[in-house]
Amino acid sequence: MEIEFLGTGGAVTIPRPLCHCNVCLEARNKGVPFSRMGPSLFVHGPNLLIDTPEEINQQINRSTIKDVNGIIYSHWHPDHVMGRRIVESLSADWTHHPPQHKKINIYLPEQVDIDFKTFLGSSDHLNFFESQGFANVNRLKDGDSLFLNNTKVFPFRLAEDYVYAFMIESDSKKVLIAADELNNWKPHKDVIGVDLAILPAGIFEFHPLNGERLLPENHPVFEEEATFNETLQIIQTLKAKHVILTHIEEPNGLNFTDYKELEKKLKNSGLRIEFAYDTQMVKV
């Protein structure tokens, strides 16, 4: 099993349009690994795409992906779903008559399916693709697993119960992928000690290298999002063999070099943590 990080940014990607801060200027000039597109991952083996941000077309074109067997969604938020049209781009046959559409399998965990009917027209869009022969929409009840190429994928709700993480098992290896929203989550015993945990980095309340406060203490984001320090507490509970943090937001104000320095600082404190970058490949 191999994980490819297609996009490691968050709701605010890097560079942010029209922003001229040092982080965005550097990202605009240097590109990857300083730039970050919207949040998406691809799991080679099951050939499963997790989430489709707006830039998913460019992400796949620059990736090593040869085939997509399925797409699964973690939750309804715009930065994770607004590239849905990739289904048509991957599947539709505009040359032959009658057409020979590929039909991508789309997997919707229970609450995601419910929320897609309410937010952003997601359900209507996917139903249209299904009616055109571009997709099969598979609705999963809580507790259901799916199996792709001898790989088990088990979606489960986090504390913010509209969002799902995924336990992926193949060849005696276990990978936990939580694309976003760790707020108030307490890891269950079934996920302790996984081979690899991929988690959102969280909001940086303080600059992790110099201690400077980055956001006011009463900022409302703390009611909805886990901070970086709270993420570290979750990591210590998880006891994963390897941790990679993604969903890295532009407002954190850190560049790629800062995150590499932070990796060293965390390593010295006994934590094996990496910060993901776009196009990164990780073999499990």
Instruction: Please report, for the chain, the start and end positions of each structural domain, with discontinuous segments joined by +.
Output: 2-283
Q: What is the rounded average pLDDT for all residues in the chain?
A: 96
Residue 249: pLDDT band (50, 70, 90) is very high
> How many Cα atoms sit within 13 Å of 31 on the Cβ side?
2
Q: How far is 281 from 269, CA to CA, in rounded Å?
A: 25
Residue 15 pLDDT grade (very low, low, confident, very high; cuts 50, 70, 90): very high
| Distance spanning both ends of the chain, measured CA to CA | 6
Average pLDDT for residues 77-105, to the nearest whole number? 95
Q: So what's the pLDDT on residue 136?
A: 96
**What band does 62 get if pLDDT is binned at 50, 70 and 90?**
very high
* Structure confidence by residue, pLDDT tens digits, 251-270: 999 999 999 999 999 999 99
Distance from C-alpha of 14 to C-alpha of 29, rounded to nearest angstrom? 11
**Spatial distance between the Cα atoms of 123 and 137, rounded to a whole number of angstroms:** 10
CA distance 138 to 72: 9
State residue 166 phi and psi, 5-degree precision.
-130, 130
Helix intervals (H) in 117-255 = 122-131, 228-238
pLDDT of residue 205: 93
Predicted local confidence at residue 257, as pLDDT: 97
What pLDDT score does 149 carry? 93
- The reported pTM is 0.96
Q: Summarize pLDDT for 183-229 with one digit per residue, the tens.
A: 999 999 999 999 999 999 999 999 999 999 989 999 999 888 999 99
Per-residue confidence band for 110, with pLDDT thresholds at 50, 70 and 90: very high
Banded model confidence at residue 239, pLDDT cuts 50, 70, 90: very high
- Top CATH class of 2-283 equals alpha beta
Rounded Cα distance between 15 and 9, Å, is 10
